[in-house]
Structure 1
Amino acid sequence: MTVSEPPQPLPSRRPTVAFMFSHPAHFIALGFGAGLSRVAPGTVGTLWAWLSYLALQQWLPPQHMGMLIAASTVVGWWACTTTARNMAVADPGSIVWDEVVAFWLVLWLAMPMGWWGQLVAFGLFRFFDAAKPGPVGWADSLFKGFGWRGGWGILWDDFVAAFCTLLVIAVWRFL
Structure 2
Amino acid sequence: MPPAMAVATLCGVGRLRIAPGTWGSLVVLPAVLLGPWWCLALGIAFSLAGFWAVSHLPEAREDPGWVVADEAAGQCLTLAALPPDASFWWVLAGFALFRLADILKPGPVGWADRMGGSLGVMLDDILAGILAGGVLLAARAAGLP
Give the TM-score, by structure 1 length: 0.72
* Structure 1, unpaired ranges of 5+: 1-20, 145-149
Which position in structure 2 is the counterpart of 1:45? 24
CA contact (8 A) 1:49 1:99 kept: no
Q: CA RMSD in A?
A: 2.0
CA contact (8 A) 1:31 1:45 kept: yes
Call closer, same or farther: CA 1:65–1:165 in 2, change over 3 Å. closer
Which position in structure 1 is the counterpart of 2:48? 74
Residues of 2 paired with 1:66 and 1:95: CA distance?
20
CA radius of gyration, larger in: 1
CA contact (8 A) 2:94 2:136 kept: yes
Give the TM-score, by structure 2 length: 0.86
Residues 20-169 of structure 1: matches in 2 within 5 Å?
21=1, 23-51=2-30, 53-54=31-32, 57=34, 63=37, 66-83=40-57, 85=58, 87=59, 90-112=62-84, 113-141=86-114, 143-144=115-116, 150-169=117-136
Residues of 1 paired with 2:119 and 2:136: CA distance?
26
Secondary structure of 1:109 counterpart: coil
* Structure 2, unpaired ranges of 5+: none
Residues of 2 paired with 1:106 and 1:119: CA distance?
11
Call closer, same or farther: CA 1:91–1:156 in 2, change over 3 Å. same
CA contact (8 A) 2:82 2:90 kept: no
